[in-house]
Amino acid sequence: MTFAELWRELEPLGRDPGTGGYRRYSWTPADTECRAWFTRRAEALGLAVEPDRNGNLWAWWGPSGPRRPGAVVTGSHLDSVPDGGGYDGALGVASALAAVEELKARSFSPERAIAIAVMTEEEGGRFRVACLGSRLMTGAIVPDAARALSDDDGVTLAAAMTAAGADPSRLGPDEDLLGSVGAFVELHVEQGRALAPMGAAVGLAKGIWPHGRWRLGFGGRADHAGTARLADRKDPMLPYARTVLAARRAAADNGALATIGKVIAEPGGANGICSSVTAWLDARAPDEARLEKTVTAVRSASMRYSAECGVTLSVRQESYTPPVRFDEALRDRITDVLAAAGMEAPVLSTGAGHDAGFLAARVPAAMLFVRNPTGVSHSPAEHADLPDCETGVHALALVLEDLAARP
Ligand SMILES: [Zn+2]
């Protein structure tokens, strides 16, 4: 199957007909459909598909056995943010299948095993901890804490996995599997717009900015919008609103990014004052010092505004990811492979987190980016042109071929 044919099959899965955005939340029926599609397509290529203990899927090609030392692994994720785009994650998975197909069509025979990994809950779109599959695998989150994570409806990860037919009791670090990975190369749609002005179809990742999520809880008092005097109100919406602006200012002051993209106002009546507002702050910066300054500025502004309004404030860090530097030797090797094929791949840093970033702590990891002409991501408008996707597939095939041909 060509990339375009694979894409046509995958594209409709989990897409909301109203918004055109994707709702591929992990361990939901949409996710099950995506997993079934991947399994079907990988098996059609002759790959052996095995779930790992953390709910990630691995499709293996080449020397079999319980350990496949030095395996070359590619892949990405199939889950999405709420109303996300079709390319984030899915492009890396479909490209991996197409790249393996290209190598098989050339009768390539790998010396080292090749695997395609589909990581679970990469976006944290349901359980709010991003890269959950790779965090669990590398021991970056305690299994009990992961099992207890709950979605907006109060369904825990353990319950969601069980309902989807998976076993949450085995969650945890996977040293055997990690020990078999010689290199991990994730192809991903570019998030941002650096490649287009450079006229490059593909790029390579240098590193990932440190980033995190903080939950801000503003506690006020529910009251009647038509009778409560302004002076008597404890309205949590007020410090919340000022905090949104403070986040924007703190980010600008520190050369960082800060976003409040999710808010829950309760009870949420149009004619009432809220009892509480919960908001999530996402902050990222080129280095940890600037990230800390940004978050501290938001937190202290928020405390001040809350106190002024008689509103309580709680701030909880839900996730934190230190900066990632990808393996230089691996990147240089990939640069050479692509240059030999006439492809120039500029090196970029990104503010977006990825499973490759977590795996980079344990194995040599690299990322290939495919040009995003508008730069828009996490939106139904996210896009990559078909010829660029095809270039990405070819680039990935060359990289896998080189890495799997020799130790
Ligand atoms: Zn992604």
Q: How far is the CA of 218 from the centre of ligand 1 (A)?
A: 31
The structure tokens 């907006």 sit at 152
Distance from C-alpha of 168 to C-alpha of 149, rounded to nearest angstrom: 12
For 30-52, the pLDDT digits (tens) are 999 999 999 999 999 999 999 99
Mean pLDDT of 153-178: 96
In the structure, what pLDDT confidence band is assigned to residue 64 with cuts at 50, 70 and 90? low
Q: How far is the CA of 327 from the centre of ligand 1 (A)?
A: 19
What's phi and psi for 300, nearest 5 deg? -70, -35
Give residue 349's pLDDT.
Answer: 87
Q: How far is the CA of 87 from the centre of ligand 1 (A)?
A: 8
Indicate the SS3 state at residue 16: coil
Give residue 88's pLDDT.
Answer: 96
Distance from C-alpha of 265 to C-alpha of 103, rounded to nearest angstrom: 52
Mean pLDDT of 313-338: 95
For 229-259, the pLDDT digits (tens) are 999 999 999 999 999 999 999 999 999 999 9
Q: Is the pLDDT of residue 202 over 70?
A: yes
CA 249, 376, 289: angle at the middle one, nearest 5?
A: 40
Distance from C-alpha of 171 to C-alpha of 159, rounded to nearest angstrom: 13
Q: How far is the CA of 275 from the centre of ligand 1 (A)?
A: 35
Distance from C-alpha of 286 to C-alpha of 204, rounded to nearest angstrom: 17
Per-residue DSSP letter, 230 = G
Q: What is the DSSP string of 201-213?
A: SEEEEEEE--EEE
Q: How far is the CA of 378 from the centre of ligand 1 (A)?
A: 9
Q: How far is the CA of 40 from the centre of ligand 1 (A)?
A: 22
- Long-range (24+ apart) CB contacts under 8 A made by 40-45 are 41/1, 41/6, 41/9, 41/97, 42/97, 42/116, 44/1, 45/97, 45/100, 45/101, 45/104
Helix axis angle, 90-105 to 29-44, nearest 10°: 10
267: preceding bond cis by omega (within 30 degrees): yes
Q: Is the pLDDT of residue 65 over 70?
A: no
In the structure, what pLDDT confidence band is assigned to residue 353 with cuts at 50, 70 and 90? confident
Q: Where are the alpha helices (DSSP H) in 29-163?
A: 29-44, 90-105, 132-138, 143-148, 157-163
Q: 289-315: buried (b, 16+ CB within 10 Å) or exposed (e) per residue?
A: ebbbbbbebbbebbeebbeebbbebee
